[in-house]
Structure 1
Amino acid sequence: MRSQWECLLQNVGEWQGSFTRLSPQGELIENTPTVVSLEGIDNNQTMRQIIRRTLPNQSIDETVLQYSTLGKQILFFENGAFSQGSIQLAPYSEFGAEHGLIAGDRRLRLVQLFDKTGNLDRITLIREKLLHSTTPERPALQVAHLVGQWQGEAITRYPDGQVSDVYPTQLRIEKTSDTQLVQHLSIMQQGSHHTISSTGRIAGSVLSFETGSQWNQVLLLPDGASAASPQHVRIGQAFFLELGWLIQSNMRQRIIRRYNNKGEWYSLTLVTETKVG
């Protein structure tokens, strides 16, 4: 199994793309062209990261980072997928996370930020490809792309160093009317079987799911992406943040960062699922 540092090295390369800033409802605010370069130096013992953004006046804003260790706030998977962000939700503090998925010469990242009152405030979608990539961007995600039966495998990693869990998943998504969606998620984890069913409202490219007293929303985004989160986070209620990516018409990846009811980050899950039937 690769070490966390070796998993990070799967991200090495020059990634050309854009930072697309969105409102909490998924509306476009601004789009900034970017080049992000990740280079292993000192025999891959150190990572040099250069972020170049082309500003509206065409000037270049450059940030250079160099590091040789990874913090407790980040976890990687074997293929280079990762999530980093707040370890603890705290009152009157900003809170958020960044997630990244990789498929060949393409990379998709998402930043979800909440303000000091716990309301979803800013979303940034980052679509990238390696320098000489000819792989086209996926169409914007639509409900029709999601409807069907999905079978997958989930890998859950833990920030406290617990052994990873690997287990099968099944997800069935049905569109029951023009404005309603029903999904059933089944997982067999650590010898026990769980099925979670939820009903969602469809309003354009926003899906809203009510779970108890909490509303989770899923934004359908460009490049086959989806962003899931509560509209509001608070201590006392467990929640998750998720980035999904429809890589092919019948293949999807999702990365899910979960927090418990004390607001503590406790797990990170990567799901790779295929549409069947």
Structure 2
Amino acid sequence: MGSNWENFLKNLGEWTGTFTQISTDGEILGSTPSILTLEGLEDNQLVKFRLRRFANNIDEPPTSDRSQEYRSLGRQAVFFDTGAFSKGSIQVAPFAEFGAEYGFVAENRRSRLVQLFDKQSNFASLTLIREIRSGTDAQLRPDLTVAQLVGKWSGTACTHYADWRDPDTMPTHLEISQVGDSLQQQLSFGDRTISSTAKIDGHRLHFDEATPRTILLLPDGVSSNTPFQVSHRQPFFVEAAWLLADDLRQRLIRTYNDKGEWVSSTHVIETRFRNADATRTS
């Protein structure tokens, strides 16, 4: 298992992409082109960050150009062995904005998502950043659909804790099925099993439970999973996922306790089992 810094270095390179603004209903509001550069210097002890954003295309002068240097990473940023990362607010506080950012890396692709909640703690907006390593022919993924999620998934979850105790790793099993206009999920990890049902509403999945939440199915195989409102009085989690191949998915989860304190970040890598797979192994 690499160090946080070593895993951060797996994001080095020049990435050409788009910043896409998305409403809380999952509607596309607009996009702007971007070039993000992460350059390792001084034997990778220093990383120079530069983000340029453009009005229409990258052949024009940028409308913004921001640079920063890193020799260390903040406590709230957790990087996993694939280079995937999760960072965001450490504490939910009254009359303060709350946010989380997730990043997934796979060879010449990155897919990132930012979830923002307003000062009343209500879910307010999403930004989806789809990036391709400059000079490669990597392709974006299709828009995510319910059919792409249905099936039996098995994987491994790695959890890093806010108090920096040793990470935990455990197997996960997820079964997703569609019954009419409902989606049923059964998630098992460790000795726990959680069942839930959502109403399918186009590209939205509505879970009407103790803490109502919505999963939005987005472009590039990405999904966003948030409660309608975050709280400093009851536990909750926020999540992003990326279907980076037909039968391969990664998920990133940030968990908060009943005081609104960030407790842990989890990275799940899971694969779907097809009937043909079961036949070959029987």
Q: TM-score, normalised by structure 2?
A: 0.94
Residue 247 of structure 2 corresponds to residue 245 of structure 1: no
CA–CA distance in structure 2, aligned partners of residues 3 and 273 of structure 1: 22
Deviation at 1:95, TM superposition (A): 0.6
1:229-250 CA distance string (max 9 Å, x none) = 1111112221111111111111
2:46 is matched with: 46
Question: Could you list the per-position Cα deviations for residues 131-168 of structure 1 after superposition, in whole angstroms to 9, with x for gaps in the alignment?
Answer: 12212211100000001110111111112111111111
Contact map agreement 2:115 2:126 (CA 8 A) in 1: yes
**Post-superposition shift, 1:129?**
1.0
Q: Which residue of 2 aligns with 1:20?
A: 20
**Match in the other structure for 2:189:** 187
Q: Distance in 1 between matches of 2:39 and 2:162?
A: 25
Q: Do structure 1's residue 55 and structure 2's residue 55 form an aligned pair? A: yes
Q: 1:151-190 alignment to 2 at 5 Å? A: 151-177=154-180, 179-188=181-190
Q: Confirm whether residue 210 of structure 1 aligns to residue 208 of structure 2.
A: yes
Q: Which runs of 4+ in 1 moved over 3 A?
A: 56-59
- 5+ residue gaps, structure 1: none
Paired with 2:168 and 2:11, the residues of 1 have a C-alpha distance of 23
How many residue pairs align between the two structures? 271
Distance 1:64 1:106 in 2: 22
Q: For residues 239-272 of structure 1, what are the alpha-carbon distances to aligned partners after superposition, in whole Å with 9 as ceiling and x for unaligned?
A: 1111111111111110111111111111111111
Pair 1:79 & 2:57 matched: no
Write the distance in 2 (CA, Å) between the matches of 1:18 and 1:10.
20
> Secondary structure of the equivalent of 1:88?
coil
> CA offset at residue 43 of structure 1?
1.8
Quote how far apart the aligned CAs of 1:211 are.
2.5
Q: What is the SS of the residue equivalent to 1:145? A: coil
Sequence identity (%): 47
TM-superposed CA distance for 1:56, in Å, is 4.9
**1:47 Cα offset (Å):** 1.1
Counterpart amino acid of 1:102?
A: V
Report the counterpart of residue 91 of structure 2 in structure 1: 88
CA deviation digits over 1:167-211, x for unaligned, max 9?
11000011011x2111000111xxxx1000001011110101123
Measured against aligned partners, the alpha-carbon deviations of 1:16-70 in whole angstroms (never above 9, x if no partner) come to: 1000010111111110100000001122111100000002595411001112111
CA RMSD after TM alignment: 1.1
Distance (Å, rounded) in 1 between the aligned partners of 2:43 and 2:173: 42
Contact 2:132 2:139 survives alignment (8 Å): no
Q: Match of 1:113? A: 116
Q: Tell me, what secondary structure is at the counterpart of 2:147? A: helix
Matched with 2:280 is none
For structure 2, list consecutive stretches of 5 or more residues without a partner in the other structure. Answer: 275-282
User: Quick one: which amino acid aligns to residue 153 of structure 1?
Assistant: T
Query: In 2, are the aligned partners of 1:240 and 1:259 still within 8 Å (CA)?
Result: yes
